[in-house]
Amino acid sequence: MAKGKKHDEVNENVKNLEETEETMAESKEDSQRSDKTSETKEEKVEEKPAEETENNELKKKNEEIEALNNKLLRLQADYLNYKDRVEKEKLTIYGDAVSAVICDLLPVIDNLERAISADVPDNFKEGVVMVYNQLMGILNKKGLKEIEALHKPFDHNLHYGVAYEESEEFDDGIVIDVLQKGYTVNDKLIRPSMVRICKKS
């Protein structure tokens, strides 16, 4: 009887020990699961700031690219404006230089025309006419143009009136005589026509 009781106590102790081990094992598993859940949460928390940082950096890079593109466009526009301005200045300087040279040649043209109008031998006149025509051909290509003044209304922008003359043949304010021819170069006045103007009494 005592042996049976002792045996039961041993069995009960073993059973209690097994239950304790099971409880400890379950507790350990719960603890491991809890640790894993905690680690997963920490990873997610760590991933989220990393994504935000990456997005912020990407946004910053895009803003820098846009700023550089705008700067490039402005530089291109400035360069094109500068190029156009330089081209216009170059044409202006060239035109002024051509006008200055032609202006210096106008007295030569006047003298050649006087020589052609003078009473000289024909063979001499033919040579002067050839030189005159050749010179005028070159100057005309450079933009020289004679101002039409004779029998035209007086224009103070193109004509320089030196005298008035009464005439029944022409209306008041009409140019009746050209004393010196006027010229333009590429529509720019380099010398006005020196004229006499009709004036009614």
Token pair recorded at residue 99 = 């006008």
Q: Which two tokens stand for residue 141?
A: 């290509």
What pLDDT, in 10s, does the model give residues 66-120?
A: 999 999 999 999 999 999 999 999 999 999 999 999 999 999 999 999 999 988 8
Least confident of 47-51, 65-69, 116-120, 141-145: 47-51
139 contact partners, CB below 8 Å, separation of at least 6 = 102, 105, 109
Separation of alpha carbons 59 and 64, rounded Å: 9
pLDDT tens for each residue of 7-39: 555 556 556 656 666 666 666 666 566 555 555
The arrangement of strands across the sheet holding 193-198 comes to 159-165, 193-198, 175-180
What are the structural domains, with CATH classification, of the chain? 63-142 (3.90.20), 146-201 (2.30.22.10)
Q: Over 70: is that where the pLDDT of 131 sits?
A: yes
Question: For the chain, what is the mean pLDDT?
Answer: 84
Contacts of 154 (CB under 8 A, 6+ apart): 161, 173, 174, 175, 195, 197
pTM of full prediction above 0.75: no
Q: What does the pLDDT read at residue 44?
A: 53
